[in-house]
Amino acid sequence: MDAEFWHQRWQTARIGFHREQVNAQLTQVWPTLKLAKHSQVLVPLCGKSKDMLWLAEQGYSVSGFELSPLAVADFFAEASLTPTQSAAGPYQCWQAEQLHIYQGDFFQIDKFQAQQLEQQFDAAYDRAALIALPKEMRAQYVELLARLLKPGASLLLVTVHYAPEQQQGPPFSIDEPAVLALFTPYFSVETRGRITEGQANPRVASGELSFFDELCFVLVRNSEEFQ
């Protein structure tokens, strides 16, 4: 999935991955992480997710990274917030209160004050980032997350699982074994929830997919250093 693919998706409003409601597994599981108020929370490939507003309302400082300027502008407009904008390395930083969204390519983060960003974040939340990435980009993404999170930091990860032969594009199916294979070099992994949508999912109801599950994991960054 190159940058132009996602720009086109936002320009043509093909954003079926966006949800108008805050994710149920976020509201149920996040409080169990017992993070201190004002903790720094990373939300990669954030789109215009309302989940970021919920996190900010809980008292956290939220840093999202999003490629599309349309998505960032929509987020602040729909939240009735007027952000300030400033250049920040390869990004345009939009800020309002404790919300920061860095507009640009998340994978360029090493070019932006790398010495300050490494192990900066106390926690991360991923509902639609990993499942948006093709297989060849996932290991790079996981290593980047590990670099940005402090030892002991928590990651709440939400993925989807369906029969992968039934769909070739994003959101990609990523099941528990795939999560374990990707993350165990850097994180401990605990499965915390599964929502089986069944006929409530329109693509299951239409027969396009045979099943569609939403999986939830809590991961904790281990203390091993990079070589």
Mean pLDDT of the chain: 86
**For the domain that residue 15 is a member of, what is the CATH number?**
3.40.50.150
In a domain, 196, yes or no: yes
Closest listed residue to residue 142, CA positions, set 127, 124, 130, 160: 130
Number of domains forming the structure of the chain: 1
In a domain, 149, yes or no: yes
Which pLDDT band, with edges at 50, 70 and 90, does 119 fall under? low
| Residue 149 is labelled as binding a ligand | no
| Residue 81 is labelled as binding a ligand | no
In a domain, 226, yes or no: no
Q: Which residues contact 201 (CB under 8 A, 6 or more apart)?
A: 209, 212
42 versus 5: the higher-pLDDT residue is 42
pLDDT at 167: 81
Domain that holds residue 209: 3-221
In this model, does residue 113 exceed pLDDT 80?
Answer: no
Which residues on neighbouring strands pair with residue 126, listed in sequence order?
Answer: 157
In a domain, 47, yes or no: yes
Determine the Cα–Cα distance for residues 52 and 61; give it in Å rounded to an integer.
10
Q: Strands 149-161, 213-221: parallel, antiparallel or unpaired by DSSP?
A: antiparallel
Burial of residue 120 (CB within 10 Å: 0-12, 13-18, 19+) is middle
In a domain, 227, yes or no: no
| Residue 45 is labelled as binding a ligand | yes
Lowest mean pLDDT among 54-68, 129-143, 158-172: 158-172
Report the pLDDT averaged over residues 182-208. 86
Radius of gyration over every alpha carbon of the chain, rounded to an integer in angstroms: 17
Tell me what percent of the residues of the chain surpass a pLDDT of 90. Answer: 65
| Residue 203 is labelled as binding a ligand | no
Which residues on neighbouring strands pair with residue 216, listed in sequence order?
Answer: 158, 193
In a domain, 61, yes or no: yes
In a domain, 177, yes or no: yes
